[in-house]
Chain A
């Protein structure tokens, strides 16, 4: 049974300076499913998400207490390898965050910082000004980095749109494409878990639909945890839902039950649109 859960959280508490923003959160998030975290602004759902890859603590005023286990390993131990943890737990942010680099370099970024040498480095220095490699060359390349970049872009349903401009800046892509690029960049390091913090809040409905389809497809391979403001989105894509209110997780369960017969009155009011 234990293997059915990727993420186990016990009594997680978080403070910003003296203000407690997460209170005694305990939850088990199932493996290979999409879990949506819903709740009003300021309910703590993003804070919770950001505690799962320990990106939360980059803010120096944050204090964290409690237990988080990923694949059975406690991640808040002094011996935890942060780099390894963050490779295992990918993250996509609210607004797209492409780096001011080419599309190819963006997707290859995680590999590069992990020490994978790019194919180009084997070229002698005087060839750096030579013609950039074509989409075909990269697609058929045997190089590890090329393969990962191509596969990640394909997995993120972006390859066809960008294959002929892999060397142009990622900042030239549309918002929706940039967000899918960020998903490609996150899965290029082959994580087990993908955290998404309101990934569609800055996007138009068509781009949103593309991302939702993509997430449904990716849920075969990855455990996905997505924070969303959009109840319809939660309904469309999630298997499980956690409802947050004022720093507490009020209810966690299968999506259908949360929407149809929630146990808590607050949940019922929230999914019924009485507040939020």
Chain B
């Protein structure tokens, strides 16, 4: 029994590895400095690169992090530290957990209705950042709640008993201790947001732009959408290789984000525990 579990585990991991190997085989030859650093060339794709799509995706990731982590963490803080236990709280937490399961394209439609149309942000980087932030909020809130609830109740009492106010207790003891774990949730959510395709098609990503976005109001290119178009709709015979290479870059950025997240968490935790 134990052995079959072992094989299943290895099988799963090897599937991941096979994906990476296949992508390399398909797109490895395309990877070059030019591919990473040049603007997209629409007519002859061999002459250009995916630089704008990389930048677009990085802007997107940064924006989502800056919005969804603080908002999500503060929501988690309110739910755990201020809200009384009761039906309303259980209901809210249930709703938040369920929001995490809603298909991303539905968030796309939501963003289209609310940010693009109602607030009039148009198809833009801003609309995409806000849409993906809303999408990642449930994960960040859930991770924050779990981090906060894992902290000993005795810290809160000990701090109050020393004459600290509730806010001082949160600020000096609880928040610094809960941030590392919450941050991990935030970064995993962010890595997923950067890989999302469906919602950003709806709210502002385009396949081809001659320039980088100058402001939050501009449309933008993004890696996942780029992969999608190259793999399914582009006529160039090199499109397949380019799609694979672009996917490799996307995976690398995702892994890189996770690695940064993990080391940040490790550093903060070390600092906390000495």
Contacts and interface: CB of A to CB of B under 8 A. Distances in A.
B160 A86 contact: yes
A110 B172 contact: no
A112 interface: yes
B172 A109 contact: yes
Interface in A146-177: 168-172
Given A113-B165, A169-B274, A172-B274, A100 B177 contact: yes
Listed residue (A83, A102, A186) with the most chain B CB atoms within 10 angstroms of its CB: A83
B273 A171 contact: yes
A53 B163 CA distance: 10
B154 A97 contact: yes
Contact of A169 (B160, B176, B273): B273
Per DSSP, chain B at the interface is: helix
A99 B158 contact: yes
Interface in B192-215: none
A93 B154 contact: yes
Given A93-B154, A95-B154, A58 B274 contact: no
Contacts of A114: 163
A100 B269 CA distance: 10
A23 B274 CA distance: 46
Contacts of B273: 100, 169, 171-172
Interface in B159-181: 159-165, 168, 172-173, 176-177
B272 interface: yes
B123 to A, nearest CB: 43
A90 B159 CA distance: 11
B157 interface: yes
Given A97-B152, A100-B177, A113-B172, A58 B157 contact: yes
A182 B158 contact: yes
Contacts of A99: 155, 158-159, 172-173
A55 B163 CA distance: 10
Contacts of B272: 100-101, 169
Listed residue (A95, A101, A109, A113) with the most chain B CB atoms within 10 angstroms of its CB: A113
A33 interface: no
B274 A110 contact: no
A101 B159 CA distance: 13
B157 A97 contact: yes
B84 interface: yes
Interface residues of B, number: 22
B164 A113 contact: yes
Interface string A108-152: 011011100000000000000000000000000000000000000
A204 interface: no
Chain A interface: which size bin?
20 to 34
A260 interface: no
Contacts of B154: 93, 95, 97
Given A60-B84, A102-B274, A97 B163 contact: no
A245 to B, nearest CB: 26
A143 B163 CA distance: 22
A21 B155 CA distance: 25
A114 to B, nearest CB: 6
Contacts of B176: 100
A199 B156 CA distance: 18
Given A60-B84, A95-B154, A169-B272, A83 B163 contact: yes
A110 B172 CA distance: 11
Listed residue (B155, B164, B176) with the most chain A CB atoms within 10 angstroms of its CB: B164
Nearest to B165: A83
A84 B163 contact: yes
A229 interface: no
A100 B154 CA distance: 12
Contacts of B163: 83-84, 86-87, 110, 113-114, 189
Nearest to A110: B162
A91 interface: yes
Given A100-B273, A185-B162, A189-B162, 20 more contacts: A53-B161, A58-B160, A60-B84, A83-B164, A83-B165, A91-B158, A95-B154, A97-B152, A99-B172, A100-B272, A101-B272, A109-B162, A109-B164, A110-B163, A113-B164, A113-B165, A169-B274, A171-B273, A172-B274, A189-B163
Interface of B: 84, 152, 154-165, 168, 172-173, 176-177, 272-274
11 contacts: A53-B161, A55-B160, A86-B161, A90-B162, A99-B155, A99-B173, A110-B163, A113-B168, A169-B272, A186-B161, A189-B162
Interface of A: 53, 55, 58, 60, 83-84, 86-87, 90-91, 93, 95, 97, 99-102, 109-110, 112-114, 168-172, 182, 185-186, 189
